[in-house]
Amino acid sequence: MEDSRVRVLLVPFPVSPLVAFAYFIGRHFGFFSPDVVVRYTAGGDSHHYFAGGKIRRLDHQELYKELDSSIWKCGDKRRALLKRMLDYCAFSKERSFKKRLLQCSSISNPKPLLESSAVPFFEECFLNGRDLWWAGWDDERDGKFFQKPVSAPVEIPPGLQFGTFPVLKNKDKDPKEREIEKTASFKLVEGRVKFLEGERLGCAIIGPKSSGKSTFAFSLAVRAGHILESLKSRGGAWENFSLEVALLNLDLGTPTDEGAIGLGLAGDREMMQRLKRPWTMELALEALAKFSRAKAKPGLVIADLPGKISRFSELAASLADVAVIVVNNWEEEIPRWRAFADSLGIELVGEVRSRLWKEGSFSLITRYHPGEFVSGRVAGMDRVDFSGDACVSRMAEFLLLDIMPSVVERRRKKIGRLLYESS
């Protein structure tokens, strides 16, 4: 019989009192265990059901009703107190508890706040019969459960990177367009990559099989590593810069892993075919555990995902914060993979159209929205290191020096704005 435990929780950023209480209720009634992994969502289709119930979203509009129903069905003699706690978290105008949650919010990892702070706080209230509507929040009494993280402000060292990329005349009408109409210039503040230091972030490379997805993931990680090593080599303000980029193969059924492409073995298609394994829920849970271990330490994880949309790939991808789509059949595949990322609340930061050399294409960036999104076209990828490719190289620069730091910066600014509003 298949294990039905919830393995992944997707929660909104930042954590609200209602979401914190929902986590407590889930732990109190055993809906999920202490080893459940938690990730912030970027919005999306919160009514989607995932991976046979192993993934649960706590960012949907029916959360209050869901919790209310769970409390009254539980049979606990003190459920009236739980209902009072629920109503306090959902409807109280008192700002102190919400403010403390904001002050203790982690930018990329909500699990410590929920497991080590929210659960003990609500357990203490419940065991002591404390009605939060009457007792309210007290900083001296309750603040001990919520430790504010100590973090120094990010210092941006000087340094700019300038560049250009070609703009094609009819890029949206003809995927093989070669006529360059003009060039677009860009300027990247290199020091903004320091926003990523100390954070735990995952970038999923998703798309159908045979699209060049694995090659792109490997090459993107190699190029990102080169960028970081270049920055670290300067000394001075970069001397103790510790950010690392890790490549992770989560397409466990297909062995084009972290070493095969780098060693030149992935080009032996017959051998790769013999080593393939059928996807099972056990394999998907293995991929999830691998992703969770990789994100346990600070850094940016670039993960190569399975090339088929299924409950298995949903589970394997569930810890990704952002995604880049790589497809060869644009019209048919891109809407499906956009919907896949949206359903999991994964922020889409890039799209790539892969082509063959014989199609007459060449690699380039086709669109760039600073701080948000980049798209491009790559030609000729064939399971070898492609980190020197124009599209791969530029996309690594945009993601690492601008788009990923912007994801973190937007969260920091949102916390600051909400703290100001709660004062």
219-238: pLDDT as tens digits: 999 999 999 999 999 988 89
Region 41-54: what's the mean pLDDT?
Answer: 79
pLDDT tens profile 166-209: 887 766 666 666 778 888 899 999 999 999 999 999 999 999 98
> Does 36 map to a domain?
yes
Shared domain check, 192 and 126: no
Shared domain check, 192 and 145: no
Shared domain check, 231 and 347: yes
Shared domain check, 248 and 124: no
> Does 308 map to a domain?
yes
Judge whether 296 and 200 are in contact, CB under 8 Å.
yes
- Total domains, the chain: 2
Q: Of 295, 325, 358, give the one whose Cα is nearest residue 220.
A: 325
> Does 423 map to a domain?
no
CA dihedral sign, ordered 108, 311, 287, 215: negative
Amino acid at 358: K
> Does 420 map to a domain?
no
Task: Out of 102, 122, 150, pick the residue that ends a domain.
Answer: 150
Q: Does the structure show a pLDDT above 80 at 276?
A: no
Q: Of 258, 257, 251, 304, give the one whose Cα is nearest residue 278.
A: 251
Shared domain check, 291 and 249: yes
> Does 418 map to a domain?
no
Amino acid at 111: K
Shared domain check, 372 and 276: yes
> Does 338 map to a domain?
yes
Distance CA 232, CA 243 (A): 9
Task: Out of 150, 177, 205, pick the residue that ends a domain.
Answer: 150
Shared domain check, 189 and 127: no
CA distances for 24 relative to 121, 122, 125, 367, 408, angstroms: 9, 7, 11, 44, 27
pTM of the predicted structure, to 2 decimals = 0.91
The CATH number linked to 331 is 3.40.50
Task: Out of 122, 150, 178, pick the residue that ends a domain.
Answer: 150
Question: pLDDT above 70 covers what percent of the chain?
Answer: 90
CA 275 to chain centre: 29
> Does 46 map to a domain?
yes
Shared domain check, 405 and 286: yes
Shared domain check, 235 and 370: yes
Question: Per the structure block, which two tokens stand in for 203?
Answer: 């970038």
Shared domain check, 245 and 110: no
Shared domain check, 165 and 119: no
Shared domain check, 265 and 240: yes
Q: Give the per-residue pLDDT at 274.
A: 54
**Cα diameter, the chain:** 74
Average pLDDT, the chain: 88
384: DSSP letter: S
pLDDT tens profile 123-168: 999 999 999 999 888 888 998 999 877 676 788 888 899 999 888 7
> Does 2 map to a domain?
no
H/E stretch holding 18 reads helix 17-28
At 278, the pLDDT band (50, 70, 90 cuts) reads confident
211: DSSP letter: S
Boundaries of domain holding 39: 8-150
